[in-house]
Amino acid sequence: MQVAQIIVDVPTRQTNNPYSYLIPENLEEQIQPGMRVQVPFGRRRVTGFVIGLSDKTSFDGKLKKISSLVDLSPVITPELLKLSEWMADKTFSFKISCLQTMLPGGMRTKFKKKLLATDQIRDTYPAIFHGQNEIDYDRQKFNNKTIAEILALRKSNQIKVHYELSSHAKPILSRAYKSKLNQQQIDHVLIDVQKRAVGQRRLLKMLYEQPSQTFLQSKLLHEGVGRQVLDTAVKQGWVTETQVRRIRNPFLQPVSRSYPLDLNEDQQTAVNRINNAIGKQTDTTFLLEGVTGSGKTEVYLQAMAHALSIGKTALMLVPEITLTPQIVGRIRSRFGDQVAMLHSAMSSGERYDEWQRINSGQAKVVVGVRSAIFAPLKNIGLIIMDEEHDSSYKQSDTPRYQTRDVAKWRAVYNHCPVVLGSATPSLESRARAMKGVYQLIMLPHRFNNHALPHVSIVDMKDEMAHNRHILSKRLSNLITDRLEKHEQIILLLNRRGYSSFIMCRDCGYVPQCPNCDISLTMHKDTHTLNCHLCGHKEPIPTVCPKCHSKRIRHYGIGSQQLEEQVKDLFPTARVLRMDVDTTRKKGSHEAIINKFGAHKADILLGTQMIAKGLDFPEVTLVGVLNADSALQFPDFRSSERTFQLLTQVSGRSGRADKQGEVVIQTFNPDHYAIQLAKTQDYEKFYHTEMRIRHLGKYPPYYFTIKITGSSPSEKQTAYEMHQIAGFLRRYLTNKAIVLGPTPKTITRVNNRYFYQIIIKYRQEPKLKAALDDVLVKSQTKQQGGLLISIDNEPLDFM
């Protein structure tokens, strides 16, 4: 008898290793690693992932049996199974969490399975299909013998399995028609149809040419066969009406085909080096450092094309906010229907359909955000991470993985290169390139040698003395100038660390969240004060609860207010706003960008969303309204973030023939991150920042670990965290630096108190063992609700 090793869906330390279950006899041939099953666990029934199979002989004692199958074919590839093991280890998380993370959202929760059969199979297996082409698998009570039969059919591809989300993602069915006549009969009918009945003749011709084809109604209508004609055709018995499942199409608009462009010398060198590695199947990591507008995208496209040309697939990742229709359009125009897209703004049904196209090998190019790194793509020839420095590549919840590391793991597995691309590489990556761990490829000039934009800095301290408007004199003069010249403008409101709150002008009172140590943010659209951490909401007060003054006002500025002010100042300008509020609806992000791209607006204003990736030739002015709001963060990476953001957004200006200009408004005009963004001198920034990191013993000179502990009692959190810090100091070498515990910047969230410990180290062979020990102890003791989490290479120390 065979035994399956199963990781059960019970996320605890004790259940982190596989359990063995007997495979029911009928299913022995069918169960494969990567499928999900239901198993008895204690008194419950839980889902689990089969990760391996073995012979019973090595087991004594009584094993429980697998109760039922969840999947009829593997949903996790052998590669991803292996990856999950590595990832659990690397991110200090449970294997089950890693496996779950790899599945597209919809499949993690509720879904139904449909079996789809051809007419022939339907009739051969009446006990399964009862004369239908499509049945609900879960509704039927099949015995194991029938299930084995179904699995065999599925394995030999004689039937198809389709997952359907039971709740929101219903399949889309389209009306369609199929000929009931053979060609001879059609000939016959045609004799009787009058010449004037153009529609009928057209339909019959189409049926004649493809008698076994199922025609979508939409296609027929498009071809000039009207509804009336179709009704007649059904009545006359020429066709039958049916429904077909339509694959959801996440690409809203068709794109026209594009062809490889002639590369300039730098681009050609880059492509040659990457293609060479693709051909040789080496797992080299390249850092493609190219200034904004240098043409990195074309390099990606041609390297991907090379991977496809030798029969491989390609995976390209982009940050959440740059997965703009623009970049997807460029990729799709080159590779057509081979492209699958994975993005969080897609419905779970769409994501499932795309995932399915990838899993089945139909899609050969995948473009997506962070989670797309788990696409079940086989035979990968190239992995690209655009804007590799972007913080969205690090997952902030468990499993806290860094996409870059996963990409490198998959590259090793697939023997393919990774390309990390950026105008402002992360210090980590650039430092690795300097050490020769990565290969550095530079694109130092803009395409066609267009000049980088001219950047000026406005000191808002001076400005405030005579102008209390959010737009400085210089910026508004330039806006007027551009409007006159009929050129376009982008205005960025930096929202990181910036919120719009209300304050009493008489006593200084600021409303706070009752559950968290943070002030409430004003939401004009819902007329509420909201807590961004726990979701608490309350009405906006009209009198100060503390001193009863009526002068309780709104401070700070949101993009909505900015829009109003800009419209006030420039009443004739056509203004578009892009932020979370205006992009909530599906397709709205795309609509705004298309509108701006078609020059149906003069000013595009918004938050970080507009900072990256956009390529519009008519944009010749970029204004940054509050450059330094991120600088005030107590975080060692805040200078790097600020520099990157300013360089990126400046890079939107003057990308074509016209010289671009940038105005940066700031209260810290002398800060090096701002000064160096002015000259867009990455090289100097890199060296300056590296010196600071060296002095402060920060990454990339040191590796870091953040341990966060929380409980409902502050005293207890502090006590337990002191114990842990003490243990680490005793256990690790004296070269490791253990900082804390300290309360986190926002100590109380949802009435739990958060403390943290930071470990900095260069080489610490016993670190892994120590941290595992911390986790095991915290779980077994449960310590009255103390929850511990470990973040390997955290993005911040806050």
Ligand X SMILES: Nc1ncnc2c1ncn2[C@@H]1O[C@H](COP(=O)(O)OP(=O)(O)OP(=O)(O)O)[C@@H](O)[C@H]1O
Q: Is 689 in contact with 644 (CB distance < 8 Å)? A: no
What residue type is 599 in one-letter code? Answer: H
Q: Does 261 bind ligand X (CB under 6 A)?
A: yes
Three-class secondary structure of residue 317 per DSSP: strand
Interface with ligand X (CB under 6 A), residue from 77, 93, 101, 294: 294
Least spacing, CB of residue 178 vs ligand X, in Å: 45
Dist. CA 439–CA 420, nearest whole Å:
10
**Contacts to Zn ion by CB under 5 A:** 504, 506-507, 509, 513, 515-516, 531, 533-534, 536, 544, 546-547, 549
Q: Does 263 bind ligand X (CB under 6 A)?
A: yes
Where does this chain touch ligand X (CB under 6 A) — which range of 47-55, 145-153, 236-244, 256-264?
A: 256-264
Q: Is 239 in contact with 207 (CB distance < 8 Å)? A: yes
Nearer to ligand X among residue 278 and residue 301 (C-beta): 301
Q: Which parts of 423-560 are beta strand (E)?
A: 439-443, 454-459, 488-492, 502-504, 521-523, 528-530, 537-539, 552-554
Residue 358, contacted partner among ligand X, Zn ion, none, CB below 5-8 A by kind:
none
Where does this chain touch ligand X (CB under 6 A) — which range of 233-241, 292-300, 730-738, 746-754?
A: 292-300
Closest CA to 433 of 684, 613, 700: 700
What residue type is 126 in one-letter code? Answer: P
Least spacing, CB of residue 450 vs ligand X, in Å: 8
Closest CA to 382 of 278, 299, 289: 278
Q: What is the dihedral of CA 93, 96, 99, 105, to 10 degrees?
A: -100
Q: Does 628 bind ligand X (CB under 6 A)?
A: no
Q: Which parts of 318-424 are beta strand (E)?
A: 339-342, 365-368, 380-386, 418-422
Residue 544, contacted partner among Zn ion, ligand X, none, CB below 5-8 A by kind:
Zn ion
Contacts of 594 (CB under 8 A, 6+ apart): 325
Q: Which parts of 631-727 are beta strand (E)?
A: 661-666, 703-711
Where does this chain touch ligand X (CB under 6 A) — which range of 167-175, 244-252, 258-266, 765-773?
A: 258-266
Q: Does 302 bind ligand X (CB under 6 A)?
A: no
Residue 534, contacted partner among ligand X, Zn ion, none, CB below 5-8 A by kind:
Zn ion
* Angle, in degrees to the nearest 10, between helices 588-597 and 325-335: 80
Dist. CA 659–CA 450, nearest whole Å:
8
Dist. CA 73–CA 690, nearest whole Å:
50
Q: Does 71 bind ligand X (CB under 6 A)?
A: no
Residue 536, contacted partner among Zn ion, ligand X, none, CB below 5-8 A by kind:
Zn ion
Interface with ligand X (CB under 6 A), residue from 119, 262, 397, 657: 262
Least spacing, CB of residue 748 vs Zn ion, in Å: 9
Closest CA to 71 of 102, 38, 101, 42: 38
The secondary element (H helix, E strand) that includes residue 287 is strand 285-290
Q: Answer yes or no: is 98 a known binding residue.
A: no
Where does this chain touch ligand X (CB under 6 A) — which range of 167-175, 259-267, 563-571, 790-798?
A: 259-267
Interface with ligand X (CB under 6 A), residue from 200, 275, 297, 704: 297
Interface with ligand X (CB under 6 A), residue from 376, 597, 613, 700: 613
Residue 504, contacted partner among Zn ion, ligand X, none, CB below 5-8 A by kind:
Zn ion
Nearer to ligand X among residue 423 and residue 749 (C-beta): 423
Where does this chain touch ligand X (CB under 6 A) — which range of 288-296, 514-522, 561-569, 664-672?
A: 288-296
Interface with ligand X (CB under 6 A), residue from 71, 164, 298, 602: 298
Residue with tokens 């926002």: 746
| Percent helix / strand / coil, the chain, rounded to 5 | 40, 25, 40
Q: Measured at CB, which residue is nearest to ligand X?
A: 295
Structure tokens at 553: 């006002």
The gap from C-alpha 172 to its chain's centroid, in whole angstroms, comes to: 25
Q: Answer yes or no: is 531 a known binding residue.
A: yes
Residue 321, contacted partner among Zn ion, ligand X, none, CB below 5-8 A by kind:
none
Three-class secondary structure of residue 107 per DSSP: helix
Q: Is 239 in contact with 214 (CB distance < 8 Å)? A: no
Nearer to ligand X among residue 322 and residue 792 (C-beta): 322
Binding mask 630-659 for ligand X (x = CB under 6 A): ---------------------x---x----
Q: Looking only at residues 373 through 432 of this chain, which bind ligand X when binding is defined by CB under 6 A?
A: 423
Least spacing, CB of residue 279 vs ligand X, in Å: 21
Q: Is 243 in contact with 176 (CB distance < 8 Å)? A: yes
The sign one gets for the Cα dihedral 76, 80, 86, 92 is: negative
Number of residues that bind ligand X (CB under 6 A): 19
Q: Answer yes or no: is 547 a known binding residue.
A: yes
Residue 347, contacted partner among Zn ion, ligand X, none, CB below 5-8 A by kind:
none
Binding-site residue ranges for Zn(2+): 504, 507, 513, 516, 531, 534, 544, 547
Binding-site residue ranges: 504, 507, 513, 516, 531, 534, 544, 547
Contact residues toward ligand X (CB under 6 A) are: 261-264, 267, 290, 292-298, 423, 447, 613, 615, 651, 655
